Amino acid sequence: MEFRFNVAQYFKTPIIKVTNTLLPSGYYEDRRAVLDATSKISEIINDMGEASASAQGLTRAVTTAQKLRNSDHSLYLMSENGGKNGVVTGLLKVGVKSLYVFDADGETHKVNAPCVLDFYIHESRQRAGLGKVLFQYMLDQENTRAQQLAIDRPSDKLVGFLRKHYGLTQTIPQMNNFVVYEDFFEHNTSHDSTSMETAEMHFTNR
């Protein structure tokens, strides 16, 4: 995706991490430059978030600058040289959420789990290996493994991606929108068990 400004000035590396400051990690400039950078990064986030929502057939964007500002989530953005100003090619949003999830025996547990909340590679750059690069970079930065993740409303493409690149095939059915895989409970600590009735009352927003 191209923008009206040079994105390379904010992408000192091909992948940057943005949190609720709406600035790339390690970005230090004077106040005027920071305000300008925040505005332009917000534009990137909003446009890529809208593109992700459209690709998934969603009626509203999961990822916006305002939502990121008001959260403790992390957003990974990928870019590459191209066009006049460079292009942004990928988005991956993650964050820890408190969830009630079933294990393979049907027992419900409350866990604080790392979650994939949004994942998108621009249509012009799909099937070029960028998704694996972005996803693996996130895993390395967050010091986690694919098996540890809860996936919020994964698309068929994402399910296929996790199967192909990480060998994740067996899911454990849940009552919420999240998908977890068989090895999930080997890597996440349960805080307590709870009844199905209590679990049904627990809702999460991404």
Is 124 annotated as belonging to a binding site?
Answer: yes
User: Is 133 part of a structural domain of the chain?
Assistant: yes
54 labeled part of a ligand binding site:
no
2, part of any domain: no
Could you give the 3-state DSSP secondary structure of residue 111? strand
Q: Is 120 annotated in some ligand binding site?
A: yes
**Annotated binding residue at 49?**
no
| Residues 139-155 pLDDT 10s | 999 999 999 999 999 99
**Looking at the domain assignment, is residue 112 inside a domain?**
yes
Do the annotations mark residue 158 as ligand-binding? yes
Residue 131 marked in a binding site: yes
69 is in an annotated binding site: no
List C-alpha distances in Å: 13 to 16, 24, 91, 181.
Answer: 6, 10, 15, 32
Residue-range definition of the domain harbouring residue 146 = 7-200
Is 25 annotated for ligand binding?
Answer: no
Per-residue pLDDT tens for 86-127?
999 999 999 999 999 999 898 999 999 999 999 999 998 888
Annotation-wise, does 121 bind a ligand? yes
Residue with the two structure tokens 């993650």 = 94
99 falls within a domain: yes
Residue 185 marked as a ligand binder = no
Known binding residue 155? Answer is yes
Is 155 part of any domain? yes
111-143 core/surface letters (b: 16 or more CB in 10 A; e: else): bebbbbbbbbbbeebeeeebbebbbebbbeebe
Q: What is the CATH number of the domain that holds 67?
A: 3.40.630.30
Q: Establish whether 97 is an annotated binding residue.
A: no
Number of folded domains in the chain?
1
Looking at the domain assignment, is residue 190 inside a domain? yes
Print pLDDT tens along the chain (206 aa).
Answer: 999 999 999 999 999 999 999 999 988 889 999 999 999 999 999 999 999 999 999 999 999 999 999 999 999 999 998 778 899 999 999 999 999 999 989 899 999 999 999 999 999 888 899 999 999 999 999 999 999 999 999 999 999 999 999 999 999 988 899 999 988 987 665 544 443 333 333 434 45
